[in-house]
Amino acid sequence: MAVDVAVAEVAYPANKAKAASKANVKVTLVADKDYAYEAKSSKAGFFSAQIPAKDLAALKAGTYTLVVEASLGAESGATESSSLIVF
């Protein structure tokens, strides 16, 4: 399963966003054990992580949380979450 993420750099105080050319992006699938995947840049502002079929096959039917963390360096970055439903 592909997880695609759009990442922007925001410069303060101008508060203008531009596509991030580089970032540290991690996708975590929260289950009985957490699975973490590094997202790779596909083009400026877009990153993609692949969740292997074997990891998805190991899940029981139910709702799981995907957490995406993006940062430019060591500073605090942005975090977003979403649900994944397995039948």
Domain ranges of the chain: 2-86
Please give the average per-residue pLDDT across 9-28, as a whole number. 89
- pLDDT by residue (tens digit) across 36-46? 999 999 999 99
In this prediction, residue 75 carries a pLDDT of: 77
pLDDT > 90 fraction of the chain, expressed in percent and rounded: 80
Rg (CA), the chain: 14
Distance between CA atoms of 80 and 49, rounded to whole angstroms? 15
Q: Model confidence at 73, in pLDDT bands (50, 70, 90)?
A: confident
The predicted model scores a pTM of: 0.88
Top pLDDT among 73 and 65 is at 65
Fold for the domain defined by 2-86 = Immunoglobulin-like (2.60.40)
| 3-state secondary structure at position 5 | strand
The owner of tokens 């970055």 is 77
